Amino acid sequence: MVRVVYDRFLETGPVFLVLLGVGLFGCLSPVQPPTQSGCEPAFPYQQGWLGGDAAFSVPLDGRRSLWLFGDTFVGEPGQPSRRGARFIHNSIAISKCDDQGQWSIDYRWGAGSDGATAFFDRAEAGKWWWLFDGFSHDGAVYVGLLEVESSAPRGPLAMPFGFTGVELARISNPEEDPSAWQFERLRLSRSPLALPAGAMVVHGAHVYFFTFLDRQARSYPRILVRLPLTSLESGAVDLEPALETLTTDGLWQPGFRPLAARIIMQDDATEMSVHFLASAGVWLALYSYPSVGADFPEQRPSDRVWFRTAESLSGPWSPRRSLFRIPELDPSRVAGFDPHTACYAAKAHPQLSARGSVSFTYVCNLFAGPEGDVEALLGRLVDDLGIYRPIPVSVALPSDLSGEARD
């Protein structure tokens, strides 16, 4: 889990800052195929939105998508830096492709008595939600709410927060303007150790949750749980008893049973996307993770966006394969390389992907490291609006998506 640590966390542990060189987009050399809508995604600074990470997307209809951002900066429209901006833990946006194939995006957050608040706001000191994926069912939209609380620094990166569970926000009227949205909270898990939030997929009679285990910030392997869709229609506000777990014997067992669960992916990405590629008849999981530790930046972070495929959501999943090399992490670049950079949060947006390719976004952060100059890096974050927003890329998929299944 990599997030911007800001505000009251500056004194408690290492700080992650985000780097997106706006002028570097042309250096990515991505394939730019036409999409179904003709739209190419972009995340401009407008309406006072000054950057956010994560960038899960949930298609709402053939033209609109809901975007879910994590830590977000909000200021005045047109201000030249983030100085004086509010720092909130989530925001959303609605993107639209019009009849001419033009992309537009409308950012939203909450409003409190003293300024901007998170769109989904816990309104408790030291507690917040990060938004983790979502899905649509029976006219409603469901958004994953990962419960986070400030804590003593933990793990090799001394991260000053911990997880306490997952809820779903059910939005009953997603066709209306977000200012009029009505939502209720449904309990999905109370476990601080297994979080059913990494990716959410509706398939058949169930919604599947790619769940990451939190091994005290040391590793985040993934297991799989699912929920009958009928549970969403039952009126129950506590969904945890209806969960089913894929266990080590390869069978679906009733209950949320992380200690008996099969590990379906060993690598540590907490954020990911999973969608079906009809053209190839396989499921595609896409993700990235920095794998930085206490010896960063001497030990370089991962510079790859990875993918796996499977014929079934329950696997077996193929070995991970490299899809894209992140140019911000290439030390041979003439300009723009920073050894404190680490990148994460890659996920696909299939509603914007053309046949034979995949459109995705990722985010890059600056990590101070044990001996890094936190204040200097923070100064870059607040003064440089070329830093901290999702980077969109579209690349051709390999012609051979098969692989010997293991893991």
DSSP string, 5-46: --GGGGGTS--EEE---GGGGGGG-------SS--------B
Other Cβ atoms closer than 10 A to 136: 16
Helix (H) or strand (E) holding 58: strand 49-59
First-to-last alpha carbon distance for the chain, in angstroms, is 21
* Predicted local distance difference test score (pLDDT) of residue 290: 86
* Predicted local distance difference test score (pLDDT) of residue 14: 32
The helix/strand/coil state of 94 is: strand
- Residue spans of the chain under pLDDT 50: 1-37, 405-407
In the sheet that holds 140-154, the strands lie side by side as 127-137, 140-154, 159-171, 183-189
Tokens encoding 203? 């398939």
* Predicted local distance difference test score (pLDDT) of residue 197: 95
Other Cβ atoms closer than 10 A to 123: 10
Domain map (residue ranges) of the chain: 7-396
* Predicted local distance difference test score (pLDDT) of residue 369: 75
* Predicted local distance difference test score (pLDDT) of residue 334: 62
Q: How far apart are CA 145 and CA 271, in angstroms?
A: 13
* Predicted local distance difference test score (pLDDT) of residue 71: 95
Bridge partner residues of 145 (DSSP): 131, 167
* Predicted local distance difference test score (pLDDT) of residue 155: 64
Beta strands in 155-267 (DSSP E): 159-171, 183-189, 194-203, 206-213, 222-228, 244-246, 252-254
Contact residues for 252 (Cβ-Cβ < 8 A; gap 6+):
226, 244, 245, 246
Tokens encoding 132? 């983790």
**Sign of torsion over alpha carbons 226, 228, 232, 238:** negative
Maximal C-alpha separation, the chain: 59
* Predicted local distance difference test score (pLDDT) of residue 27: 30
Q: Indicate the burial class of 4 (C-beta count within 10 angstroms; 0-12, 13-18, 19 or more).
A: buried
* Predicted local distance difference test score (pLDDT) of residue 203: 98
Q: How far apart are CA 342 and CA 319, in angstroms?
A: 23
Q: Does domain 7-396 have CATH number 2.115.10?
A: yes
* Predicted local distance difference test score (pLDDT) of residue 30: 35
Question: C-alpha dihedral over 34, 37, 42, 45, to 10 degrees?
Answer: 150
Place of tokens 């990060």: 130
State the amino acid at position 100 in one-letter form: Q
Contact residues for 28 (Cβ-Cβ < 8 A; gap 6+):
327, 391, 393
Place of tokens 């419960």: 147
* Predicted local distance difference test score (pLDDT) of residue 5: 44
Q: Could you read off the pLDDT of 136-175 as tens digits, one per residue?
A: 999 999 999 999 999 887 665 667 888 999 999 999 999 9
Using a cut of 0.75, tell me whether the model's pTM lies above it: yes
